[in-house]
């Protein structure tokens, strides 16, 4: 479904401690006998790639280089590829501006599916923003203010990631295996990060990616311990304006477009009346074909019907579906309603920037902020119709905290749908969480939004923000993240 396709705590220290004790008490494993970690990022080359591998992951390797000065010269930064035989995922890594030797580690991915995390880096929460095609500007509200952070172009075909021999990835579950292996190899080589709190974050389709990726990392820990490796201290997940439960989101499209829950209604009365009449039929079709049972043919038919009746009127309105308080600047196809995406692409097309980043020379095409081919592959597999919220529940049951934050002006992955699924979520904290009233949360004495929290799950809205909260409200989003990293309530 096109519109949704565009849309895109702590590990119990008792459990982690037991795992680490088991690790320390084990005899040397076969992996340890063959493995020599690089230990420190200072050993990474500044001119070419340093290649890392691990015997427990024979199909995977990691090549990276120091690439400091292309974005934030106050910290060290690194770029490179996760190589999985013929598949190659590009990533950026920035050390914390505060204390890289003790601060937490954040993993970030944009959504789509098909969206490059370069958008998150250069437009939203990264250490710099692209002011024009000629360079970048220091971003004071970057999330690396108090954390080390990764930005990853995934799956293959997104951004600077690429593949040979016709290799593709077209499901979130397959993408999760590559991400989990990368995380394990990185932490195994750079021992100063071992045991450090690790947070997996993303937005939009990241609402599907992050719960599945984090679950794969968590489940992989048992294998790491068995192999004599230190487990990953998966502490939390953070999802911004996410598509986690497609059913709740679809049901909310009418309410956000036709009632003043975000801004004043943006569609005509006649259009809203038709949407209101269609909504019960749409919900019935989706529930019967995509939720209660999964019938691919019927689910696809239901999604096409609901898209044409509930989504297309908004897409044809001229409003920015990512922020319905504004008109679309440009077109969805050309600028995604944000001309800054064009400037980022122009900056990343400069040959000297690509050389500095270590972009593979085989990549000749202009930089794509968004891959239509990847999006189409995931859409063909109906990937977004999987029950992703159950992964969130499972992580919460295992002591992994979850922050679900939403800019209130977003329509495409809106606050109404996200609040609905968090309140309906089936887990042992359901009664307490759903019974909590929303309360205001403030930044510098000014109300930033509303929030509800219980037993590790937090839902928060951000006033005046659209789909990309760090872009619209950088100060508020950074304060939110810093409180979350410190384990403080909003």
Q: What is the CATH number of the domain that holds 307?
A: 1.10.287.410
Judge if 128 and 181 occupy the same domain. Answer: yes
CB count in 10 Å sphere of residue 325: 17
> Do both 236 and 267 map to the same domain?
no
| pLDDT computed for residue 43 by the predictor | 85
Domain match, 61 and 148 both = yes
Residues 263 and 206 in one domain: no
In terms of domains, do 63 and 196 share one?
yes
Mean pLDDT along residues 241-266: 97
Domain boundary among 330, 348, 371: 330
> What pLDDT is stored for residue 47 in this prediction?
86
Predicted local confidence at residue 21, as pLDDT: 44
Q: Are residues 171 and 279 in the same domain?
A: no
Determine which one of 77, 204, 262, 317 is catalytic: 204
Radius of gyration (C-alpha) of the chain in whole angstroms: 22
- Give the pLDDT of residue 191: 86
Same domain, 102 and 189: yes
Q: Is residue 362 part of a domain?
A: no
Determine the average pLDDT of the residues in 50-75. Answer: 91
Among 164-178, 198-212, 457-471, name the one with the lowest average pLDDT: 164-178
% pLDDT > 90, the chain: 83
Q: Is there a domain that residue 353 lies in? A: no
Task: Provide mean pLDDT across the span 69-89.
Answer: 93
Q: What's the mean pLDDT in 175-202?
A: 94
Question: Same domain for 145 and 288?
Answer: no
How far, in Å, CA of 320 to CA of 271, rounded? 18
Tell me if residue 410 is catalytic: yes
User: Does residue 64 register a pLDDT over 60?
Assistant: yes
* Model confidence at 48: pLDDT above 70: yes
DSSP reduced 3-state for 361 = coil
Is 365 inside any structural domain?
A: no
* 475 within some domain: yes
Which of the residue ranges 74-83, 128-137, 173-182 would you say has the lowest mean pLDDT?
A: 128-137
Is 356 within a domain? no
Taking residues 35-63, report their average pLDDT.
87
- According to the model, what pLDDT value does residue 68 have? 85
Residue 13 has pLDDT above 80, yes or no: no
Confidence of residue 369 (pLDDT cuts 50, 70, 90): very high
Write out the residue range of the structural domain in which residue 177 sits.
Answer: 2-244+385-485
Q: Given this model, what pLDDT does residue 6 score?
A: 42
What does the pLDDT read at residue 33? 52
pLDDT band (50, 70, 90) for residue 132 = confident
Contact 235, 401 (CB under 8 A): yes
Given the structure tokens 């659209």, which residue do they identify?
466
Number of domains in the chain: 2
- Whether the pLDDT of residue 202 is over 50: the answer is yes
Of the residues 103, 307, 410, 472, only one is catalytic, namely: 410
| 127, part of any domain | yes
For residue 185, tell me if it sits in a domain.
yes
State residue 134's pLDDT score.
78
Q: State the average pLDDT for the chain.
A: 92
Confidence of residue 98 (pLDDT cuts 50, 70, 90): very high
Mean pLDDT of the 366-394 span: 95
Question: Which residues have a Cβ under 8 Å from the Cβ of 180 and sit 6 or more positions away?
Answer: 213, 216, 217, 220
SS3 state at 150:
strand
Cα(111)–Cα(239) distance, rounded to whole angstroms? 11
157 and 53 inside one domain: yes
Distance CA 234, CA 226 (A): 17
Do 212 and 251 reside in the same domain of the chain? Answer: no
For the ranges 104-113, 118-127, 330-339, 469-478, the lowest mean pLDDT is seen at 330-339
CA distance 474 to 465: 10
How much is the pLDDT for 53?
87
pTM over cut 0.85: yes
Average pLDDT over residues 348-365: 94
Q: Which residues contact 265 (CB under 8 A, 6 or more apart)?
A: 257, 258, 259, 272
Which residues contact residue 421 at a Cβ distance below 8 angstroms, ignoring those fewer than 6 apart?
A: 244, 245, 248, 389
- The encoded tokens of residue 455 equal 């037993």
Q: What is the DSSP string of 227-252?
A: TT-PPP-EEEEEEES--S-HHHHHHH
**CA dihedral of 282, 283, 289, 294, whole degrees rounded to 10:** 130
Q: Assess contact for 458 and 452: CB atoms under 8 A.
A: yes
Q: Report if residue 28 sits inside a domain.
A: yes
DSSP H helical ranges for 156-236 = 172-189, 206-226
Q: Flag whether pLDDT at 12 surpasses 70.
A: no
Within 10 Å of residue 99's Cβ, how many Cβ atoms?
A: 10
For residues 28 and 153, membership in a common domain is answered with yes
Contact 392, 236 (CB under 8 A): no
Whether residue 243 is predicted with pLDDT greater than 90 in this model: the reply is: yes
> Region 90-100: what's the mean pLDDT?
96
Q: How confident is the model at residue 18 (pLDDT cuts 50, 70, 90)?
A: very low
- % of residues, the chain, pLDDT over 70: 93
Do 169 and 102 share a structural domain?
A: yes
Residue 447, domain CATH: 3.40.50.1820
Active-site annotation holds for 204: yes
Q: Which of 330, 352, 368 is the last residue of a domain?
A: 330
Exactly one of 116, 467, 472, 477 is catalytic; which is it? 467
Evaluate if residue 3 carries a pLDDT over 60.
Answer: no
| Boundary (domain end) residue, out of 315, 330, 345 | 330
pLDDT value of position 34: 57
Q: Residues near 440 by Cβ (< 8 Å), separated by ≥ 6?
A: 447, 449, 450, 451
Q: How far apart are CA 345 and CA 261, in angstroms?
A: 35
pLDDT score recorded for residue 383 = 96
Q: In this model, does residue 217 exceed pLDDT 50?
A: yes
């Amino acid at each position: 479904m096109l519109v949704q396709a565009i849309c895109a705590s702590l590990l119990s220290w008792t459990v982690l401690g037991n795992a680490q004790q088991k690790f320390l008490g084990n005899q040397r494993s076969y992996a340890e006998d063959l493995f020599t970690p690089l230990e420190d990022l200072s050993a990474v080359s500044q001119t070419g790639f340093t290649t890392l591998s691990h015997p427990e992951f024979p199909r995977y390797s990691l090549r990276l280089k120091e690439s400091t000065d292309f974005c934030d010269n106050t910290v060290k930064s690194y770029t490179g590829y996760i190589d999985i035989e013929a598949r190659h995922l590009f990533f950026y890594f920035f050390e914390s501006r505060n204390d890289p030797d003790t601060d937490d580690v954040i993993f970030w991915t944009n959504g789509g599916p098909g969206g490059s995390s370069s958008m998150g880096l250069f437009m939203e929460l990264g250490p710099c923003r692209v002011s024009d095609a000629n360079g970048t500007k220091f971003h004071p509200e970057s999330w690396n203010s108090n954390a080390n952070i990764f930005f990853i172009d995934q799956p293959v075909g997104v951004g600077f990631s690429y593949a040979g021999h016709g290799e593709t990835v077209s499901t979130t579950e397959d993408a999760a295996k590559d991400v989990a292996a990368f995380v394990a190899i990185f932490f195994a080589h750079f021992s100063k990060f071992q045991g450090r709190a690790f947070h997996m974050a993303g937005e939009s389709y990241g609402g599907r990616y992050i719960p599945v990726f984090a679950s794969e990392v968590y489940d992989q820990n048992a294998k790491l311990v068995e192999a004599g490796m230190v487990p990953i201290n998966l502490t939390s997940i953070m999802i911004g304006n996410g598509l986690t439960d497609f059913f709740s989101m679809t049901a909310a499209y009418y309410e956000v477009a036709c009632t003043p829950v975000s801004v004043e209604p943006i569609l005509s009365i006649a259009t809203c009346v038709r949407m209101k009449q269609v909504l019960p039929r749409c919900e019935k079709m989706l529930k019967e074909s995509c939720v209660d049972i999964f019938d691919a043919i019927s689910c696809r038919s239901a999604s096409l019907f609901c898209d044409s009746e509930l989504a297309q009127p908004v897409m044809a309105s001229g409003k920015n579906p990512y922020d319905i308080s504004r008109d679309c600047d440009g077109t969805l196809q050309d600028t995604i309603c944000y001309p800054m995406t064009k400037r980022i692409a122009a900056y990343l097309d400069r040959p000297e920037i690509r050389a500095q980043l270590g972009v593979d020379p085989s990549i000749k095409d202009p930089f794509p902020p968004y891959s239509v081919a990847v999006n189409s592959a995931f859409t063909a597999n109906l990937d977004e119709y999987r029950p992703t919220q159950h992964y969130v529940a499972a992580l919460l049951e295992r002591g992994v905290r979850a922050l679900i934050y939403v800019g209130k002006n977003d329509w495409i992955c809106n606050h109404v749908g996200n609040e609905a699924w968090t309140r309906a979520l089936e887990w042992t904290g359901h009664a307490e969480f759903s019974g909590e009233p929303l309360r205001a949360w403030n930044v510098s004495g000014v109300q930033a939004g509303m929030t509800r929290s219980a037993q590790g799950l937090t839902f928060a809205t951000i006033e005046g923000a659209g789909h990309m909260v760090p872009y619209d409200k950088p100060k508020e989003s950074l304060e939110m993240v810093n409180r979350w990293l410190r384990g403080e309530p909003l």
